[in-house]
Amino acid sequence: MSDPFLHSRRTLTLRFDIPISKTREFWDALRDGRFVTTKCSNCGNISFPPQADCPKCMGNEFSWVDLGKDATLVTFTYVQITPASFADNDPYIIAIGELQGGLKVLAWLEGVKPEDTKPGMKMRIEARLAGEGNPFYVFVPA
Footprint of Zn ion (CB under 5 A): 40, 42-43, 45, 54, 56-57, 59
Nearer to Zn ion, 11 or 42 (CB): 42
Rg (alpha carbons) of the chain, rounded to whole number: 16
User: What is the number of alpha carbons within 13 Å of residue 68 lying toward its C-beta?
Assistant: 13
Nearest distance, CB of residue 78 and Zn ion, angstroms: 37
For the bound state, the minimum distance from the C-beta of residue 140 to Zn ion, rounded and expressed in Å, comes to: 32
- Whether cis (ω within 30° of 0) applies to the bond prior to 114 is no
Closer by beta carbon to Zn ion, 60 or else 89: 60
CA–CA distance, 37 with 12 (Å, rounded to integer): 25
Residues 73, 79, 33, 67: is their CA dihedral positive or negative?
A: negative
Q: What order do you get walking across the sheet with 46-47 strand by strand? A: 46-47, 36-40, 62-66
Q: How far is the CB of 62 from Zn ion (least distance, A)?
A: 8
Q: Which of 41, 61, 40, 49 is nearest to 17 (CA)?
A: 49
Quote the Cα angle for 49-50-52, to 5°: 140
* Beta carbon nearer to Zn ion, 24 or 56: 56
Nearer to Zn ion, 25 or 70 (CB): 25
Nearer to Zn ion, 54 or 93 (CB): 54
**Minimum distance between the CB of residue 60 and Zn ion, rounded to whole angstroms?**
9
Closest distance of CB 67 from Zn ion, Å:
17
